[in-house]
């Protein structure tokens, strides 16, 4: 479980996160949703410590991450897998080497075992026979999937995915959503997914946090989000026509 307590974050004058409080439980897919620029990525980066928070605290299963020394933080980070919004693959390494990278750094596995593990992870994101390409030779969607494979390589306790299926075709997006759901339940991970894809929200949102202008505006489940009458949420959720239709259908029943 990850707890966020009273987090504030400024960039210069801009007050980007305003007193965020949230609990993300293990074995659940937690979503952070919100409009572009609302502060979703910054929230995730504050939680993993890539941005220092101005005030407030982050707790990983009760361990106070905010107060930790650099070296203690490293131990927690070895339990974190993260997919970045821009994939952030190492561009001098091949696909396979990218996925193997955390294994080579932190495990005692033999080369063969690492390769096996890398192939297993790549297989789970539907990527076969691309092992020897460089990231620059892969499409954006492929890079996303490699990023996910790398994030899950170490079997993390905490998984962060920043827009895992933006830029993917609907079919692959569903594969990725299902993968995230499966591994979260299977390994009882604490998973935090940032998204603005309503399909994912309906598909995998066990617990949803809606961020609006740097504030936690609403939180609830996927069932609740379809029924709420909060104006900002409805503007966000029913921006697409097909969602309006769903709402009408729900209304009739």
Ligand X SMILES: Nc1ncnc2c1ncn2[C@@H]1O[C@H](COP(=O)(O)OP(=O)(O)OP(=O)(O)O)[C@@H](O)[C@H]1O
Of 13, 36, 70, 241, the one binding ligand X (CB under 6 A) is: 36
Q: Rule CB under 6 A: say whether 38 interacts with ligand X.
A: yes
DSSP letters, the chain, are -EEEEEEEEEETTEEEEEEEEEEE-TTEEEEEE-STTSSHHHHHHHHHTSS--SEEEEEETTEESTT--HHHHHHHHTTEEEEBTTB---TTS-HHHHHHHHHHHH----HHHHHHHHHHHHHHTT--S-TT--GGGS-HHHHHHHHHHHHHTT--SEEEEESTTTTS-HHHHHHHHHHHHHHHHHHT-EEEEEE--HHHHHHH-SEEEEEETTEEEEEE-HHHHHH---HHHHHHHTTSHHHHHHHHHHHH-
Determine the residue with CB nearest ligand X: 41
Residues 30-69 that bind another protein (CB under 8 A): 45, 48, 50
Q: 47 or 154, CB closer to ligand X?
A: 47
Minimum CB distance to ligand X, residue 155 (Å)? 27
Of 61, 63, 64, 91, the one binding another protein (CB under 8 A) is: 91
Q: 7 or 118, CB closer to ligand X?
A: 7
Q: 53 or 127, CB closer to ligand X?
A: 53
Minimum CB distance to Mg ion, residue 45 (Å)? 9
Binding residues for another protein (CB under 8 A): 45, 48, 50, 74-75, 77-78, 80, 82, 84-86, 88-91, 101-102, 104-106, 154
Binding residues for ligand X (CB under 6 A): 11, 16, 34, 36-42, 85, 196
């Amino acid at each position: 479980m990850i707890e966020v307590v009273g987090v504030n974050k400024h960039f210069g004058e801009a007050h980007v996160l305003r007193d965020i409080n949230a609990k993300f439980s293990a074995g659940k897919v937690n979503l952070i949703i919100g409009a572009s620029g609302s502060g979703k990525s910054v929230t995730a980066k504050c939680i993993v410590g890539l941005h220092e928070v101005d005030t407030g605290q982050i707790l990983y299963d009760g361990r106070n991450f905010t107060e930790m020394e650099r070296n203690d933080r490293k131990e927690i980070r070895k339990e974190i897998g993260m997919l970045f919004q821009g994939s952030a693959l190492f561009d001098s390494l091949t696909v396979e080497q990218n996925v193997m990278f955390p294994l080579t750094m932190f495990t005692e596995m033999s080369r063969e075992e690492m390769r096996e593990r890398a192939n297993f992870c790549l297989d789970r994101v539907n990527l076969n026979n691309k092992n020897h390409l460089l990231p620059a030779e892969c499409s954006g969607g492929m890079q996303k999937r490699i990023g996910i494979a790398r994030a899950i390589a170490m079997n993390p306790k905490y998984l962060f995915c920043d827009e895992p299926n933006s830029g993917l075709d609907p079919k692959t997006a569903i594969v990725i959503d299902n993968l995230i759901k499966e591994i979260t339940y299977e390994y009882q991970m604490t998973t935090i997914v940032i998204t603005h894809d309503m399909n994912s929200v309906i598909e995998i949102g066990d617990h949803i946090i809606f961020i609006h202008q740097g504030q936690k505006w609403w939180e609830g489940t996927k069932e609740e989000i379809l029924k709420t009458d909060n104006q900002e949420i409805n503007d966000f959720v029913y921006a697409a026509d097909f969602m309006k239709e769903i709402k009408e259908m729900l209304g009739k029943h």
